[in-house]
Amino acid sequence: MSERIILHIDMDAFFASVEQQSRPALRGKPIAVIGSGKRTVITTSSYEARARGVRTGMNIFEGRTVCPELILVVGNNRKYADTSRGIVEILQDYTPLVEVYSIDEAFLDLTGSIRLFGSPEGIARRIKERIRKRFGIRCSIGIAPNKLLAKLSAGLEKPDGLVRLRPEEVPSLMERLPVTQLCGIGKRLGEHLAALGIRTCGELGCFPMADLCRRFGMVGETLSVMARGIDLSPVVPLCEEPAPKSIGHSTTLSRDISDKEILHRTLLQLSERVARRARRNHLCGRTVTLTLRYADFSTFSKRVRLAHFLHHGPEIYLAAREILSSLRLYQAVRLIGVTLSGLTRDYLQLPLFAEERKREEISRAMDAVNDRYGMFTVTWGTLLKRSKGPGVISPAWRPAGSHYVNVR
């Protein structure tokens, strides 16, 4: 394969920057974006706050302890989703090969674009300029021969960075780079590697691959290749994403709950969201998984495989409720989630009985109204008492496809 040119773009303190743009009073101040629930954590903080030691994942108390004048802002998911969509539109002006990696990150394959748009650095500068002009936010860009190195270089000069890593510079960079800097090697894996005396990518790359495979299985080979800065994975544009394996929603309850009625209502709400997303993507599933996290954070899930494929909220709800009622709850529940898997496309076994055929029509009518006026505009009576606060937007959010969730 000839030399590829891959660009990775990462918004700087995305949620916080969007907030500071829309409310000028917040600019230049330490702010932290949090969820709306009572038991939320900091999802993003501005660079001003980061300088004071505020970190993602801290709870409000911890944040205030390190930075007493920290300004807390409840996240507005719709604003982030809209901004993200706008940014992707700008990126798509330079290549159709745009892989939206998360709500604030993307990969672009510019290999074929330089003939039209000139040097990769030029394209990167233009992208940065357009995003800053239109949305007022800054980003860091890395350009390299593959996705792994592009993501690595985008992280080298944050914020507002632009790094081009050329193939000939790769060996010297990798030689001294700590392994945990690589995307995919987290703290745990880093500790396992350290136990083998491996701290830098240089050391990992020289380590006999057979020994790595014996220790880590199939991952061993990937690790060895990664450490040498090799990554053959292609940039996968949105419309070509592989079919999803599952569709799920979960929510942390505003307080620990053991009241089955509230749990059931939450289950129905989650099931509706799962069902709607399945229907929008023409998917049906036959495995329903219920996930529970207890007050002490112990988490487990239980699944049931059904005889038929389904994509209606009440059907998914009934299956999930069946699982819930088979469990003895040892503690109050902190988080509850429903997942539909075993998916297939466009499975359309028609129902025999009129009642179920009506259900099909009801779902279609509800979808039509809710598509236009927003999720839960028309819904089940039981859900009138549902919790309405917006959760934290999932990093897996995408502007289209099965990961797309209509956010409030």
Partner 1 sequence: MKFTVEKAALLSALQKVQGVVQARSTMPILSNVRIETGKDQVHLFATDLEIGLQDSFAAKVSAEGKITVSAKKLYEIARESREDTLRIESKESQGIVVRTGKSSFKLRGLSADEFPSFPEIKETGRIQVPAEALSEMIKKTAFSISSDLTRAALNGALIRFPDAGQANIEMVATDGHRLAQVIRDLKDSGIPEEEQKVIVPKKTLFELKKYLDEGEPKEIEIVLSEKHILFREGAYTLLSRLIDGCFPNYEEVIPREHPKVVTLDRELLQGAVRRVSILSDEKTHAIKLTFRKGELQISSSNPEMGEADEFIATDYSGEETSFGFNVRYIQDITSALQGEEVRIHFLDAASPTRIEDPGDDGFIGVIMPMRV
Question: Contact residues for partner 1 (CB under 8 A)?
Answer: 304, 306-309, 315, 318-319, 322, 342, 344, 346-356
Closer by beta carbon to partner 1, 8 or else 286: 286
Q: How far apart are CA 244 and CA 385, in angstroms?
A: 31
Contact in structure between 20 and 124 (CB atoms under 8 Å): no
Pairing of strands 98-102, 6-11: unpaired
* Selected catalytic residue, list 19, 48, 105, 272: 105
6: Cα within 13 Å, side-chain hemisphere: 26
Specify the residue for token string 């995408």.
398
Closest CA to 165 of 147, 192, 185: 147
Shortest distance in whole angstroms from residue 314 CB to partner 1: 10
Residue 139 pairs with which residues in a beta bridge? Answer: 11
Shortest distance in whole angstroms from residue 323 CB to partner 1: 10
Q: How far apart are CA 396 and CA 306, in angstroms?
A: 27
Contact in structure between 189 and 178 (CB atoms under 8 Å): no
Q: How far apart are CA 182 and CA 64, in angstroms?
A: 31
Sign of CA dihedral 195, 197, 202, 205: negative
Shortest distance in whole angstroms from residue 346 CB to partner 1: 8
Q: How far apart are CA 20 and CA 29, in angstroms?
A: 9
Residue 222 pairs with which residues in a beta bridge? Answer: none
Closer by beta carbon to partner 1, 307 or else 384: 307
Closer by beta carbon to partner 1, 286 or else 334: 286
Closer by beta carbon to partner 1, 218 or else 350: 350
Shortest distance in whole angstroms from residue 348 CB to partner 1: 4
Strand ranges in 121-276 using DSSP code E only, listed in sequence order? 139-144, 162-164, 246-257
Shortest distance in whole angstroms from residue 91 CB to partner 1: 31
Q: How far apart are CA 113 and CA 237, in angstroms?
A: 15
Closer by beta carbon to partner 1, 162 or else 278: 278
Specify the residue for token string 């002006």.
93
Shortest distance in whole angstroms from residue 353 CB to partner 1: 5
Contacts of 224 (CB under 8 A, 6+ apart): 204, 205, 207, 209, 212
Q: Give me the helix-helix angle, 260-280 and 313-325, nearest 10°.
A: 140
Does residue 105 have an active-site annotation? yes
The DSSP string of 97-133 is -EEEEETTEEEEE-TTTHHHH--HHHHHHHHHHHHHH
Task: Report whether the peptide linkage leading into residue 390 is cis, meaning its omega lies within 30 degrees of zero.
Answer: no
Closer by beta carbon to partner 1, 56 or else 246: 246
Shortest distance in whole angstroms from residue 318 CB to partner 1: 4
The residues annotated with a catalytic role in the active site are 105
